[in-house]
Amino acid sequence: MHLRKAVLIVSLGIFFPILAALGVCAMTSDLKWRTGHDEGPVPIPMFLDSDFKRFPNISDCGLPFGVNSHEEKIQDILSATGSYSLGEDLDSLEKKSCIIIGNGGILTNKSLGQVIDTFDVVVRLNAAPVKAYETDVGSKTTMRILYPESCPEKTEQIEDQSLFVLLAFSVKDLEWFRHMVLKTMPTGQFWKPVAQHVPRKPGDMRMLNPYFIKEASFQLIGLPYNDCLPVWGQDANVPTSGAVAITMALHHCDRVAVAGFGYNMSDPDAALHYYENLKMSAASPNHNIVKEKQFLAKLVKTGAIEDLTLGIM
């Protein structure tokens, strides 16, 4: 069997039962990317590559749900990075186990570090540190998914041996990432100070496929479409980094687990994050946490994902 067809069958074989459990019709779901030719469906790429324009599924929306009107900037960035996969070793695995590490205080004192490090792919989010917390969160990092304001300002917090992956919400994010790739001084206004450089080579930097943001938002979680324009706040239609990472993993991994997910908003004194002293009362949700929790609970209930810290249900 042709390798590409085999990979597609595996990908869709994993994902169709998940759709059914979530009540999403596979016929209407945008699972199969079409090239506009007679080549048939192809697997959904984890990261954007230099030929991303061949896929129409992300061309109808602008950021964060697609690439419309940003193609030239994205092409410039991808030409500079020149690498678009997990790497030869991981790509060659017939089956992959993946874990997404949330930043919740529920991770504290769970001693899951050794278990986390057994997964083939370990995905970390935003600026959550690893050093000094290895007992609970492990030491392995395959990729760190972030955006400008969530990138660690202290570059020593960015792992040497990992992929630096942009989750782009706006054109400002693209501009910042371009500066990080080209090693030039970033410009633009952000709502908090952002990193001025990152200690990673261009070949270790990726752009997460915005398809997963779009699918998580409108097909899996069921957030309002709003003409494919982003909305923020409690009625937001933009999912959290964690929900996007899980959606990506469901397409590419045979086993998907999470740890550090599930904020107990009913307990204002609960720890917000595992790495700082902020309490739950300090949280100011910029996402639709209620609908996301319902989505994650369905995934756990149906066995689509494993929740190692038991914070979702």
pLDDT tens-digit map of 218-258? 999 999 999 999 998 778 999 999 999 999 999 999 999 99
Q: 36 in a domain, yes or no?
A: yes
Report yes or no on 233 lying in a domain.
yes
**pLDDT tops 70 at residue 177:** yes
313 lies in a domain?
no
What are the Cα distances from residue 59, in Å, to 71, 167, 184, 231? 9, 17, 29, 19
Single-letter amino acid code for the residue at 54: R
Indicate whether 210 belongs to any domain: yes
Provide Rg for the chain, Cα atoms.
18
Residue 311 has pLDDT above 80, yes or no: yes
Q: Is residue 84 part of a domain?
A: yes
Q: Residue 8: which pLDDT band, with cuts at 50, 70 and 90?
A: very low
Q: Taking 50 as the threshold, does the pLDDT of residue 1 lie above it?
A: no
Q: 12-15 long-range CB contacts below 8 Å, 24 or more apart?
A: 14/250, 14/251, 14/253, 14/254, 15/250, 15/251
Please count the structural domains in the chain.
1
Domain carrying residue 208: 3-307
Task: Please indicate, yes or no, if residue 112 is contained in any of the structural domains.
Answer: yes
- Does residue 293 belong to any structural domain of this protein? yes
Which tens digits make up the pLDDT trace of 104-156? 999 999 999 999 999 999 999 999 999 999 999 999 999 999 999 999 877 77
Q: Residue 24: is its pLDDT beyond 90?
A: no
In a domain, 312, yes or no: no
What is the CATH classification number for the domain harbouring 179?
Answer: 3.90.1480.20
pTM score over 0.85: yes
Higher pLDDT pick, 12 / 158: 158
CA distance 14 to 10: 6
State residue 83's pLDDT score. 95
Residue 11 predicted with pLDDT over 60: no
Structure tokens at 235: 């009625």
